[in-house]
Each structure stands twice: as C-alpha cells, then as structure tokens.
Chains A and B, each alone.
Chain A
Amino acid sequence: MGLSTSTKTFAERLEDSKKDKFAQAAVARAQDTQWEKRESSREELGNWQEWRDIAESIRQHTLKHLPHYLTEFSDNVAARGGHVFFAADAKEANDYVKKIVLEKNAKKIVKSKSMVTTEVDIDPMLVSLSDDMDVLETDLAEFILQVADWDEPSHIVFPALHKNRDQIREIFAAKLGYEGDNDPVNLARCARDTMRKLFLKSEVGITGCNFAIANTGDINLSTNEGNADLTISIPKTQIVLMGMERIVPSIKEAEILDNMLARSAVGQKLTTYVTFAGQKADDESDGPEDFHVVILDNGRSNAIGTEFESILQCIRCGACLNVCPVYRQIGGHAYGSIYPGPIGSVLSPVLGGYEQYGDLPYASTLCGACTETCPVKIPLHELLIAHRRVMEDDLKMHHDGSFVNMEMNAVGMGTGHPAMFGMAMNMAHAGLSMLPKAKEITVEGSLFEYGAVRKAPALAKGWTDVRDLPVAPPHKEQFRQWYKKHKAGK
C-alpha cells in the first residue's frame, strides 16, 4: 500500500466514493459529532488562539533546529542503550526492521496504530518473512481493517470510519468465527479475545510515535485503548517508527502538544493513555530490553527550507479532515493517499510528487476551514494554492491539461488591463446571451430575472452540468451603465 492507496485515477476514485452512500453518511455523522466535542473541549481550555500560537512556535522552533534536536534525541537514546537508525526512504526503514525481526527470529509481532508504518507499508514485508508469521494490529480500528483483508485506512485518527457495526459484525463472523450481534461492546470483546492471545506471546512490538523527546530519549504515545502500552511493555524488543519531524525539545513542549492533539483529534482533554517510554532501565520492571527507533525521511526533507516547510508542523490530529467540506463528501479513500483531507492534499505531493498526487491540491474550494481549525496553525489553504502555483507557473504541468486552464490564462490576460477587461466582459456577456434559455424558473427574486441557462459550453460547462446559470441582463442595463446614468441624473 505505502503512501499510495490506489492504482485508480482520481476521477475513478471519485466515482467509487460517490456510489458509497454509507461512507458519505458515516463521514458526515462523524464530522458533526466531532465538531461539537472539539469545540467544547477547546472552550474548556480557554484562550484557544493563544494556545495555537504557542503550539505553532514550538513546532516552528523545532523544525528550524531539526538537526540539533534529532542529534540530541539520538544521543540520549544511545546513552540509555537503545539504537537509532535514520532511514532515507521506505525501503531503508523496512530493511532495518526486517534485520531486527530476523535477528530475533521473531514470529509474533504486535503493532500499535501508526500512520508511518502504513506509509512505509511494513505489514506485507513482515508477513512475507515467514510462513508462520503473526502480525497483529492492536488498535481496534486497525485490527478491523486487518481482519478485512488489510483494507485501507480512510482517516488519520479514525481509520475504519468507513465501516459500520453491521459490516464489522459480518467481517468478524467471516474471518474470526464470531457469532454475536452488532453491539460494539461484544464486537470489541471478540477483538480483545483474539488480541490477548497474541499479546502475551509477542516477541517484537512496533509502534509509531506521537512525539520524541529530545532531551531524554523517550518517545511519547497517545492512545485511548491502551494497546500501545501493551505493545511497548510485553515484547522484549521494541521498534518505533517516526517521521523525522515528530520531535520536541522536552517533555514540557510534549505536554502542550498532547493537549492540543487530544482536543483537536477526539475532543478530549487528554487521551486515556499518555505514555512516555524508552529503553528499559536496569531498575525498571517492564519495558523493552532492546529498543530501536527508526527516524524516517521518505520525502519530508523535500519540504525543509521551502514554502512547504510548515506542513511538517502537523501533529496528525485529523481536525482538518473533520471540518473539510470536500472530505465530508468524498471520504478518505478518494484521495488515494494514506494521508487524506487537506493535510493529505498538501503533504502527499510533497512526499510523493505531483505526477501522482497533482490532483489533490485542486480538490478544495479554498474555504479555509482547515486553516482555521489547525491547532498548530498550518496555512493549509494557502499551501494548496502554492502547490497549484508550482504546478502551473513553475513546472508548466497544467492540471487536467484542458481548455479550462487555457481559458483561465485568457481570464488572466483579460482582467489585467481595464480596456482588455471591458472587452473580456463584453465577450463573456455576448457568449452568455447567445446560450439557449431554460423556460422554467422556480427561484424567485432578481437572480433569474432574465432567465436561466441549462446547458453551456467551455468554461461554463462544469457549472451547467450541475446547476442552472442565471442569464446576464442586456448590456445597457449592466451596473456600470446604470451608475453613469445615475450620476449624470443627479
């Protein structure tokens, strides 16, 4: 799977998502619920905008001094007997994990939810290592996706958002022999019974990392199910995969960001479990005896020092997905990236290039809801425009290569100079007035005073595919003409 979740084109994926009425309803419902929870948990904290400023400055400071903090973190992990490996790409990360698993001759691996392990597509690699390899996703939603033949996640925080309890019951019945009803409590019990057996026998635990603490060499995890805590305390060997940007100077900054994360992601003050862990010390009773951290670049350094650097401020709360009106309609799978929604539309082209992800920056109305909600103040909608600018102006790889862009170019020329603008408006007016008018006007008021157009060509085609276009008034009645007469008559 990796970063890319589909071989279909964006248009084909849109068709699929349009048909999936269930997923649409589920996403809309989730957005509505999350909205209220998030708003109330923010209010409770008070001074939300000031907290955002602080969170933003923490993230920006760390990114500006990334080599310093990564070195400090790495030194501190090593000083406690752990190991840090810097992986340039997914292959290097996988090769390192493979080496450790083979060294340990491990056959039972438990994992805690991690977007980065999905990004590097670690699961198929692990499964392929041996015929009797057991790899278990222990986050309930990830577990459901695994049981459903490794289905793709559709949300950063709620990976199985696109499945309802009836579907989950069916999946469990078919794959796990579950015989109960669709009650979430019973479904969770079934998952827990399956997981516990493996947890207790697990040899290697793999987790992601919400934040890495530079001055202690600890990693910080936020979960609501406690599965990450089991994953890092039962197996003797622990492998942590983290994006290279997920670092903070000390536990003080982590505390602030954990607050912002939980409130933005799930509307909680903090998640049920907030864990700091690292290499087990001699006087500690649990924790990994062999602790490895894989710090992944995989395209992230493409953003460093560019106008896209702020995308690395992201703390993966998913709040931008929960407010995005486009995500609301098309759902996560339509984006074709494991990072969907506004964050994905900015991040995926940075990590994976414009050839594959060039459609995503256009999948936005630039409504700004994402920018407004982002707890670390990433100017998401501005970065979407920046991607478009890079593609259009810098790389000349015109999106959809179609007449729409040629026409937009003409619009640019036509609006650049008053005389040209007048001509362009006259041409637009002439064009519009030649179109056949629809007879039926049901909307009252002045908008459709001169009728409606039901089918228009060229730039207006996309418009009339969906809705009617009001007919422009006769030229002599246009505003500038009226104004001249009005002033003259005074």
Chain B
Amino acid sequence: MKVSIFSTCVMDLMFPQVGIAMVEVLERLGIDTDLPEQQVCCGQPTYNSGLVKESMPTIKNQIDAFEHSDYVVGIAGSCSGMFKEYPHMFKEDDPYKQKAIDLANKSYEFTQFLYHVLGVKDVGATFNGEKATYHRSCHMTRILGEREAPFILLNHVEGLEMLPLPHIENCCGFGGTFSVKSPEISEMMVTEKMNDVVSTGAEILISADLGCLMNIAGKFNREGKKIKVMHIAEVLNTNVDLERIDSVTNPVFAKI
C-alpha cells in the first residue's frame, strides 16, 4: 500500500519545507510514499478563470498521473478539493469519467488522511505554551467538506493553546486568481482577516492551505506586523515526542 504525494504548485515552487514536513510525518507513522513525476497542477487557476477547455489537458494529465496510486495525499485542501470536482467535468460516456471518480475517491488532504484514514489524533508534536489560531480555508471546508480533522490534530499538539478566530467562516480574500485580478476587494478582505487574527492575541497563525497563508502572511509582512505563520504540516512536525505517536506501523487504511 503506497501513498502518492500530491505536490501542489505553490508548494512545488515556493515552500518545499511544507512538503518535507508532510513526508516526515507520514514516514514517522510508517507510511511509504512516492511522488509520481507526471503530476502537474490541479487545474484550478485556469478552470476557475473560466478557461475550462484549456484546463482539460491539465485535468486529464493529473488523472493519468495518479491512476495507479492507492491513495493521493495533498498539502492543500483547495487542491485536493479540486480533485473531488473532477467527476463533474466529464460526461457519462467519457472514458475519463470513471477514472475521475476513482481519483476523487482516493484523494485526501493531509490532515484528513491522518485523522480519517489512518485514525491518528496525536502525531507527537510539542510546543512550549504558545498561543495559536487557525484559519479555516474555504475550499478545504466547503468544497472538500473537511471541518474537523485539523482541529482534532491541533488539539492534540502538546503545549499549543488554540484560540478561536472570529469570523472563521469568512474567506481571507485569496481566491486564487481573485487575489491578482481583484486586488482592491482582496485587500479589504485580507485586512479584516489580519485584524481578526490580531484580535485573538495569537502568536502563531496556522492553516492547511498555502494560498491563504501566503495571502494573510503577505499582508502581515506588508504592514510590518509581527506574527509567526506555519502550515499545519510544519506544526505537526515540530519537536516530535516519539513516545506519544499513535503508532501506525501497520496502518489499517480505511475509506471515509
């Protein structure tokens, strides 16, 4: 049983440390991984821009790339959520229809895979009493439908105090190309999000989507405000206490 890593564009280009953290956490839990080389982007930037025809080669390539994978685990709720949308893009008689359904069924966002498939709650991460808050990305929450897993895993990080974020349901203003096409509206949204984060008094901002993190952190940095920003994979890979890990050396994979 192998888990294929879905290396999303933003991670691929900008944030290797997040992918590394994900692989390290998975391996510590006894999971063997691979990285299918054929994989590209999930196709969201063009698809959501309305360039649907132009997105189809990308989407088909992704389906092909993971055709022989047992599980496909990604680092961003939004990108894994896009896989869940693939089946709607093919007509019943299209040979890619069933393949798209298969990919959707075996795709998981990282925390979702840990909690729902591996049944793990505590991966041994340890902090020193820091206060943190979590930004719930819209696509992970609504498109992928995952509201629970990140919170359960974060609540099992020792020494990390989780503070509730006001307006947690509200979008940060990233929205993929929205952030570059409508910067004026995006700015208003990310400013409110920044202020909400500040209002919690948290020292660390955590999220499971790199796009959102890049957006909110980018605003914090532009405003010269101090905060620590971490992807949830990095949080779960911090000061790991091996004694505490829920051992999954012989993982019992389960469908959710």
Contacts and interface: CB of A to CB of B under 8 A. Distances in A.
Whether both chains belong to one complex is answered with: yes
Interface of A: 14, 18, 24, 28, 32, 323, 325-326, 328-330, 362-369, 371-372, 385, 387-393, 399-400, 404-405, 408-409, 411-413, 415-418, 421, 425, 428-429, 432, 440-449, 452, 454, 459-463, 465-470, 472-473, 477-483, 486-487
B221 A404 contact: no
Given A447-B15, A468-B222, A412 B54 contact: yes
B142 A478 contact: no
B19 A418 contact: no
Contacts of A325: 170-171, 173, 189
Contacts of A454: 222
Interface in B125-158: 138-139, 142-143
B175 A364 contact: yes
Interface string B44-63: 01111111111101100100
A399 B50 CA distance: 10
Interface string B183-221: 111111110100000000000100000000111011111
Interface string B213-247: 11101111110111111100010000000000000
28 contacts: A328-B189, A363-B182, A365-B186, A366-B138, A367-B138, A368-B142, A369-B138, A385-B47, A385-B50, A411-B46, A442-B221, A443-B226, A443-B227, A444-B227, A445-B204, A446-B15, A446-B17, A447-B15, A448-B221, A462-B183, A463-B180, A466-B186, A469-B214, A470-B217, A470-B218, A472-B13, A479-B19, A483-B7
Interface of A is mostly: helix
A447 B188 CA distance: 22
A462 B185 contact: no
Top 6 nearest A-B pairs (CB, nearest first) are: A365-B175, A388-B50, A467-B218, A416-B57, A412-B54, A462-B180
B31 to A, nearest CB: 13
Interface in B8-65: 9, 11-20, 23, 35, 37-41, 43, 45-55, 57-58, 61, 65
B179 interface: yes
A442 B5 contact: no
B12 A425 contact: yes
A399 B221 CA distance: 31
B181 interface: yes
- Give the interface size class of chain B: 35 or more
Contacts of B110: none
Interface in B67-96: none
Could you say which of B43, B50, B188 has the most chain A C-beta atoms within 10 Å of its C-beta?
Answer: B50
B52 A367 contact: no
Nearest to B186: A466
A232 B163 CA distance: 53
A385 B203 CA distance: 37
Contacts of B53: 393
A486 B229 CA distance: 26
Most buried by B among A18, A326, A364, A417: A326
B188 to A, nearest CB: 4
B50 A416 contact: no
Given A329-B185, A459-B180, A466-B190, A408 B218 contact: no
